[in-house]
Amino acid sequence: MKTSAFVYPWDVNGDPDAPASVAGLGVEQVTLAAAYHSTRALTPRHPRHRVVTAEYAAVLYPPDARWRGREPRPYEAGDWAPGDAWGEAAAALADAGLEVHTWVVLAHNSRLGAEHPHTSVVNAYGDRYPWAPCIAQPATRAYLTDLAAEAAVRPGARGTELESLGWYGLAHLHAHDKTGGVGLGDAGQYLMSLCFCPDCRAGYGGQGLDAGELAAAVRAALEPVWRGTAPSDGGWAGVSKLLGETPANATRAWRDQTARTLQEAAVAAVRAAAPDGFQVLLHADPVSYHCGANAGVDPAHILSVADGVVVPCTGGAGLLTPFAEQRRPGAVLAANLTVVAGMGGRPDTLAGDAARARALGATELRLYHAGLASDGDLEAVRSGLAGR
């Protein structure tokens, strides 16, 4: 199976040994961040630094003239990835014999939410989620579509992986996060992720719901969850039990339609900007109402739009099955495996995990993350890939 390792430009730039080190893992490809959210990342082998703090979501190349006079527009990176950091790293990795694809994070941007609060998801209590742009808003959709095309199709890139191309919600790692006092299952997460910005309120109206009544119903449904007297799990049946089947289905219809049309528009924009043969993949979850970096999708639909998906498989590859069941010839089903032991990965079981993923339909592997992993982790990766 073709294998790609995730890499940041700051893992490569300034470290002349990095490209050969990545190539020496036994991978054929790298997925190199071109647009990325804020983060604090270790660089355990870099000769100039050990910790990189990317202070806000940014593009890691100079944005072009299409953004002149527009709001929202992408932010250029600070000193953690100055200039054309993506282009510099991509050239070095290509010289080491690696195929380079872009890694583009879209609907996840805390600075956008801080500077333009109206763009954010607003929950049923009126709380804004600044990290989560509401993908129903026309200006935000136009921004995300153009950003996808620009960041994906960088010079020298042979393909792209689009992350967070869908709804983001409550679940989000945040500085000094203290939101775990009440355990929210998937049903509670869904209700806390419903947006009530003006565009979403109008969207619910188009589904026959009164947005004010819906928000009140969400708050009422969650009240026993806050008190600990009702569970908030159970998948979609749990959502329907808490909110009621009819309003639950209406909210899902609105959100599914909104995400699907954005995904269609973004992929079409990338294809229009890209050369022939350019591969377009989405980081995806096969349950359409799920929120987050792995956007919830309908497997049949997304495989009719994109060339394939990248699916989280650390701890088990079961999420591949709904995509594999589509039996779509030529579709890429990439199993994403964390290989950083300190982040819950198991690099020592890579060969077995890869074999199990292949048995469930995986056609490719993704390894998260070559720049973050320790030397011991990387040695285990080399051994695991050699033993496939």
The burial class, CB within 10 Å (0-12 / 13-18 / 19+), for 257 is middle
pLDDT at 377: 98
Residue-range domains of the chain with CATH = 2-178+259-386 (3.20.20.80)
Write out 211-229 in H/E/C secondary structure.
HHHHHHHHHHHHHHHHHCC
For residue 78 the two structure tokens come to 């600070």
Contacts of 376-379 with C-beta under 8 Å, sequence gap 24+, read: 376/341, 377/339, 377/340, 377/341, 377/345, 377/347, 378/21, 378/25, 378/347
Alpha-carbon distances, residue 264 vs 271, 302, 318 (angstroms): 11, 8, 26
| 3-state helix vs strand vs coil in the chain, percent to 5 | 40, 20, 40
For residue 324 the two structure tokens come to 């594999």
Instruction: Evaluate whether 87 touches 60 at the Cβ level (below 8 Å).
Output: no
Alpha-carbon distances, residue 194 vs 81, 124, 227, 256, 295 (angstroms): 34, 7, 20, 12, 15
pLDDT at 6: 98
Task: Write out the DSSP string of 54-112.
Answer: E-S-EESS---GGGTT-SS-PPBP-TTS-SSHHHHHHHHHHHTT-EEEEEEE-S--HHH
Which residue, chain included where needed, has tokens 């990439």?
334
Per-residue pLDDT of the chain (388 residues; tens, 9 = 90+): 999 999 999 999 999 999 999 999 999 999 999 999 999 999 999 999 999 999 999 999 999 999 999 999 999 999 999 999 999 999 999 999 999 999 999 999 999 999 999 999 999 999 999 999 999 999 999 999 999 999 999 999 999 999 999 999 998 876 656 666 777 899 999 999 999 999 999 999 999 999 999 999 999 999 999 998 988 999 999 999 999 999 999 999 999 999 999 999 999 999 999 999 999 999 999 999 999 999 999 999 999 999 999 999 999 999 999 999 999 999 999 999 999 999 999 999 999 999 999 999 999 999 999 999 999 999 999 999 997 6
Alpha-carbon distances, residue 300 vs 64, 84, 176, 333 (angstroms): 35, 37, 39, 13
For residue 348 the two structure tokens come to 């020592």
Residue 150, SS3 per DSSP: helix
pLDDT at 183: 76
pLDDT at 285: 98
Q: How far apart are CA 92 and CA 78, in angstroms?
A: 21
pLDDT tens digits, 290-301: 999 999 999 999
Question: Residue 290: is the preceding peptide bond cis (ω within 30°)?
Answer: no
pLDDT at 60: 98
Instruction: Evaluate whether 147 touches 106 at the Cβ level (below 8 Å).
Output: yes
CA nearest to 295, candidates 72, 103, 107: 107
Residue 340: which region, alpha, beta or left (left: phi > 0; alpha: psi -120 to 50)? beta
Which residue, chain included where needed, has tokens 């088990």?
316
